[in-house]
């Protein structure tokens, strides 16, 4: 398995530094959203806008037009896009710490022993400053940056995102049940293995009831030899679990 842990110098802080008034002013401009990286928080809208342009201009000309506009923004906001030495030093510290912890805890090996299957052959992790607070996975590319709210916070979430990447790679349906199981594998169990700390309340609040319902089955799963795919399928076939999942309005 090849894991690349990297960062994009322009996006360490989530996006170019642009004063708030401009973010509001250009909020409906696709090129601006891509430039400032605000598209990350609105990826559906971005895809829709991109597709609209593809229909009119084709893929290549669309990117030509967008890049031309991005260059203009680059020039216009250059003076704001400067980071202090302290901000950069803090980021590099976070970056090194995360890399070291992944190695020290043999993170992905441990995760593979929980899910009993191989993770994607190639996984790329883009780290951001801790203050950005993002966690997204597109295909097998993970974007992550979050304050270390507790021990091993970042690496547990990287494991969480790595399972999303695995399901993406296998075109495996992702729903509330698979998401709750990802949380049991990582936020609940892996966190315990790494830090000795365990609570069912960590994870998306809207999934807490579902996690709690699946927990007794998950404990049996840990003693079995099944892989995560089989376990998710099994849980989808249990009526009382379906019922809890269907109640979730997200
Ligand atoms: Zn998730």
Distance 216 CA to ligand 1 centre (A): 21
Distance 77 CA to ligand 1 centre (A): 33
Distance 144 CA to ligand 1 centre (A): 12
* SS3 state at 119: coil
DSSP letter (8 states) at residue 225: -
Give tens-digit pLDDT for 182-206: 999 999 999 999 999 999 999 999 9
pLDDT of residue 40 exceeding 70: no
Distance 249 CA to ligand 1 centre (A): 16
Contact 112, 24 (CB under 8 A): no
**Model pTM score:** 0.81
Contact 146, 134 (CB under 8 A): yes
Distance 79 CA to ligand 1 centre (A): 36
Mean pLDDT of all residues in 120-140: 91
| 94/110 Cα distance (integer angstroms) | 22
Identify which has the larger pLDDT, 38 or 33.
33
Highest mean pLDDT among 61-75, 102-116, 191-205: 102-116
The predicted pLDDT at position 41 comes to 66
């Amino acid at each position: 398995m090849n894991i690349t842990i990297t960062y994009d110098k322009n996006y360490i802080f989530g996006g170019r530094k642009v004063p708030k008034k401009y973010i509001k002013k250009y909020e409906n401009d696709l090129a601006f959203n891509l430039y400032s990286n605000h598209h990350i928080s609105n990826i559906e809208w971005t895809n829709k806008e991109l597709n609209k342009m593809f229909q009119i201009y084709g893929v290549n000309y669309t990117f030509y037009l967008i890049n031309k506009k991005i260059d203009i923004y680059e020039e216009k906001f250059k003076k704001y896009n400067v980071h202090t030495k302290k901000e950069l030093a803090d980021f590099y510290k976070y970056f090194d710490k995360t890399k070291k912890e992944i190695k020290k805890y043999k993170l992905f090996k441990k995760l593979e022993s929980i899910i009993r299957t191989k993770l994607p052959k190639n996984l790329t992790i883009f780290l951001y400053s801790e203050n950005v607070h993002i966690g997204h996975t597109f295909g097998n590319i993970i974007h992550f940056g979050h304050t270390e709210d507790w021990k091993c916070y970042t690496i547990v979430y990287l494991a969480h995102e790595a399972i999303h990447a695995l399901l993406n790679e296998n075109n495996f349906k992702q729903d509330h049940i698979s998401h709750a199981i990802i949380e049991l594998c990582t936020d609940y169990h892996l966190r315990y293995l790494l830090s000795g700390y365990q609570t069912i309340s960590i994870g998306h609040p809207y999934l807490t009831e579902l996690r709690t319902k699946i927990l007794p089955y998950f404990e049996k799963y840990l003693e079995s030899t099944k892989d995560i795919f089989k376990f998710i399928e099994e849980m989808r076939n249990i009526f009382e679990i379906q019922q809890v999942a269907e109640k979730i309005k997200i």
